[in-house]
């Protein structure tokens, strides 16, 4: 198996594919940033849960989807070849405020609404609606 160049893009694609196949959840290889991203999604209610399973070499993230949520529209904004940054004043609402953008900031991963409140900007990882 070849190594993944974009682990966050891989995670988002696994979520999209599992939802398209009408599965209740999916698994992905563990990394700290992916775990934080899924935790932010869980706090906002986009997914039902996230759990870590296994030991260090084969650690896995188990994602469970919220049954009351429709299929998520997930778009990767910043890629390894093209980084997209946004300041706190430049952030525009995703789908008139019904969606959310996930940012990496100096204060950790957070949604665009939290970043505006704390007046910090950062790299826009993805948008979810």
Q: What local confidence, expressed as pLDDT, does residue 36 receive?
A: 96
Q: What is the pLDDT of residues 46-68, one digit of tens each?
A: 999 999 999 988 999 999 998 88
Q: What local confidence, expressed as pLDDT, does residue 108 receive?
A: 95
Q: What local confidence, expressed as pLDDT, does residue 88 receive?
A: 84
Domains of the chain plus CATH, in order, are: 7-65 (3.30.1370.30), 74-128 (3.30.1490.10)
Q: State the Cα–Cα distance between residues 48 and 71, nearest whole angstrom.
A: 13
Q: What is the pLDDT of residues 71-122, one digit of tens each?
A: 889 999 999 999 999 998 888 888 777 889 999 999 999 999 999 999 999 9
Nearest to 110 by CA among 39, 9, 8: 39
Going from the C-alpha of 75 to that of each of 1, 58, 78, 107, the distances in angstroms are 25, 27, 9, 23
pTM: 0.91
Per-residue confidence band for 2, with pLDDT thresholds at 50, 70 and 90: low
56 DSSP 8-state letter: G
Q: Are 107 and 118 in contact (CB under 8 A)?
A: yes
Q: What residues have CB less than 8 Å from 74, skipping those under 6 apart?
A: 12, 15, 16, 126, 127, 128
The answer, yes or no, to whether residue 69 has pLDDT greater than 70, is yes
């Amino acid at each position: 198996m070849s190594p993944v160049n974009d682990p966050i893009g891989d995670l988002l694609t696994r979520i999209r594919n599992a939802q398209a196949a009408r599965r209740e959840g999916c698994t992905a290889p563990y990394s700290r940033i992916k775990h934080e991203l899924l935790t932010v999604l869980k706090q906002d209610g986009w997914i039902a849960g996230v759990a870590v399973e296994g030991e260090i070499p084969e650690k896995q993230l188990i994602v469970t989807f919220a049954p009351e949520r429709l299929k998520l529209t997930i778009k990767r904004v910043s890629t390894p070849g093209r980084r997209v940054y946004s300041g706190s004043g430049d952030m525009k609402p995703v789908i008139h405020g019904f969606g959310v953008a996930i940012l990496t900031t100096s204060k950790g991963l957070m949604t665009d609404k939290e970043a505006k409140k704390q007046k910090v900007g950062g790299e826009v990882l993805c948008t979810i609606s």
